[in-house]
Chains A and B, each alone.
Chain A
Amino acid sequence: MRSRAAAGLGRASVLLDYSARHWLSGWWLNSRRLIFVVIVLAFMVALAGFVPAMRFQATAAYDHAGYAVRVNGLLTEANVAKLERQTGLAGAPMSLVSTSVLAGGRTSSVDLYLGRKASDQARTCFTAALRVSGRPVRSAGGDEIALDWVSAKTLRVSPGDRVSLVSPLDQKQRFPATVVGVYASSGPTRKAAFVAPGAFTKAFGAKFASQSLGQAPALYSDVYFGTRGPNEKIAVAKVEEVAQSNAELLVEPRAAKGARVRREAADLIGPGADRLVPGLAGLVLIVVLLREQHHRLRRRRQEMGLLVSFGFGPGAVRRMVVGETVIEAAIGGALAIPLGRWLLAEQFQLYLPRSSVTAMRADLVVVLGLVGVLGLAQVRWLMARYALKDLMEGEG
């Protein structure tokens, strides 16, 4: 006679077989399931890249120097945050504000406009930043610079490229430099992501020595924002309005009075756009997911009842349903993250660090992913319990 353990294993294998066949059968032909997969993929893409994507869109507006905003006071986190909230400037990525690096030109002839920090230090460090390519700047390497990744992408430069640096004080003065590294700034610490070369500091004085803004705020800083060409239809944000909206910020038109900047998504729907849009997408996704799960379990209710009538405990059926969820979510996540990165990097021309997930949000993505998987598993467990309700009265 076979042992009870062997019989139990046999039952488990039947459940596994049923589950696998159910999952595989018609998967690619079932439009509902395809829609489900697309939604999960979309969610993961949004999770992995939507916020960086929006931020990149903002940086794309700064192709050419247009005008400067002078922060009349300490370049503190609070001041920078105010700057970011300004109409027409909203969405300005922290890295640009703090680095004062302006995008513009082509690889062969790139101009970098250096922000002048009255604390006489422009050189910043990367102690808390993640290097995504190249190597650190050598202290002896006078003509070496490292860029933050947004700037590097915007400028279309990578380690090894030669660029010319331009002084904001005298634009005729240029200084050749070699890009040796690209860094992803670490987010909350808001370290400046730019390293001025030592020789540049030597040429222009101690004002341009390196400094970490997060540790020692500058007295003030010139920050440059760009415009596109005059024929491009872009939303108007008159610089005067920017100035009037916050008395603490003094705006100086540098290129032309009434310079235009492109209105970004954040301007159109408010300063919280980078949270609002993914948030709404997440809500829609949750509703769709719950409906889909409910539909699937209702459709299978009769089959689950059948399995119970054959001698499975409702607990075993529930465990099967939860197991399916965990496996589906794991497969979905494993597919979605690289696909999302590919879509963002290759199709939408967005630069992402080369690590497996967006480096700046790796921890967030992992935590959200785990919470999502566990949450979905819990929801399906409850749904399975509900679906089997009248088979389970008095049973665990």
Chain B
Amino acid sequence: MTAVLLDAQNITISYGRLGPQPVVRDVSIAVRRGQIVHLRGPSGAGKSSLLRVFAGLQPPQSGGVRLGGVDIAAARPGERARVRREVVAYLAQDPPLIAEFDLVTNVALPAMIARGRRREARRDARVWLERLGVGARTKHRRVEISGGELRRAAIARVLATGSPLLLMDEPFADLDAANIAIVAAAMAEQVCRGAGVLLASHVPLPAELEQVEMYDIGAPQPVESTWP
């Protein structure tokens, strides 16, 4: 797979029923293997929208996104679904857990879908839950855990996919300092293994995440493009 995991060029995102109002204008960004990019910007700047676009879940008003070298807009639905399965793991700002599943099944679900190996996926999920300090809650369901535990379970779900590109929206929200450190260490480890991380956060990043490249929305920075 190409070293450039995410290559987004001139992304513009607009909302509004009475006429599209641009929220994000001409953003170009790239994430490579072994790289952490911190997406910064004030509330409402469009960080979450950008992450959704990069995850292939929302089409931009204009601009193009390549995930793992695949042009998402031009790809067929099946190919797009494959990219979502195999290239990207996305942590939403309010990450949902499926209420009917216990925590370990929730965490194992994306890996089950991607690889179809249920037992292996559940084993990995337990390992990640244990590591992020939610190991005692594997049999619990969404309504039985706290907000911080839910956030860590959702992060475990992203990390358990083994996807090369991790898109994380506010991963440190609801977490205390000790847990922030644990999560950051886990993310840093993934980066060392060759993953690329794009995270949006309004809080300062912990020290465990070193050599983070900053990207401020509203202050476009030229990036080297893989687009022809």
A interface vs B, CB < 8 Å?
A: 2, 6-11, 13-14, 18, 21-22, 25, 302-303, 305-316, 390-391, 393-396
Contact = CB atoms under 8 A, between A and B. Distances in A.
Interface in B55-90: 55, 57-59, 73, 77-78, 80-82, 84-86, 90
Interface of B: 55, 57-59, 73, 77-78, 80-82, 84-86, 90, 92, 96, 98-101, 109-110, 112-118
Contacts of B82: 311
A313 B81 contact: yes
A33 B86 CA distance: 37
A307 B97 CA distance: 11
B59 A312 contact: no
Nearest to A301: B96
B113 A315 contact: no
A221 to B, nearest CB: 65
Contacts of B86: 311
A313 B110 CA distance: 13
A7 B81 CA distance: 13
B116 A7 contact: yes
Contact of B59 (A7, A10, A314, A394): A394
Given A310-B109, A311-B110, A18 B98 contact: yes
Given A22-B98, A303-B98, 15 more contacts: A6-B116, A9-B116, A10-B113, A11-B116, A25-B100, A309-B84, A309-B92, A310-B110, A311-B85, A311-B86, A312-B113, A313-B78, A313-B80, A313-B81, A396-B77
Contact of B98 (A306, A314, A390, A395): A306
Contacts of A314: 77
Contacts of B101: 18, 21
A302 B95 CA distance: 9
A136 B145 CA distance: 70
A315 B77 CA distance: 9
A309 B116 contact: no
A303 to B, nearest CB: 5
A5 to B, nearest CB: 10
B73 A7 contact: no
A151 to B, nearest CB: 54
A26 to B, nearest CB: 8
6 contacts: A9-B116, A10-B117, A308-B84, A309-B57, A390-B58, A394-B73
A2 B117 CA distance: 10
Which 7 A-B pairs give the minimum distances between C-beta atoms?
Answer: A10-B116, A311-B85, A25-B100, A21-B100, A310-B110, A313-B81, A311-B84
Contacts of B113: 10-11, 14, 307, 310-312
Given A309-B84, A311-B86, A25 B109 contact: no
A310 B84 contact: yes
B100 A10 contact: no
A2 B96 contact: no
Nearest to A19: B100
B196 to A, nearest CB: 18
Contacts of A302: 96
A306 B84 CA distance: 11
Given A7-B116, A9-B116, A313-B78, A308 B99 contact: no
Contacts of A395: 77, 80
A7 B115 contact: yes
Contact of A309 (B55, B77, B115, B118): B55
A10 B85 CA distance: 13
Given A18-B100, A25-B99, A391-B57, A309 B114 contact: no
Nearest to A6: B116
Nearest to B81: A313
Contacts of A21: 100-101
Contacts of A22: 98, 100
A354 B226 CA distance: 74
A2 B84 contact: no
A25 B82 CA distance: 30
Contacts of B116: 2, 6-11, 13-14
A4 to B, nearest CB: 10
Contacts of B99: 25, 303
Given A9-B116, A394-B73, A311 B98 contact: no
B115 A308 contact: no
Contacts of A25: 99-100
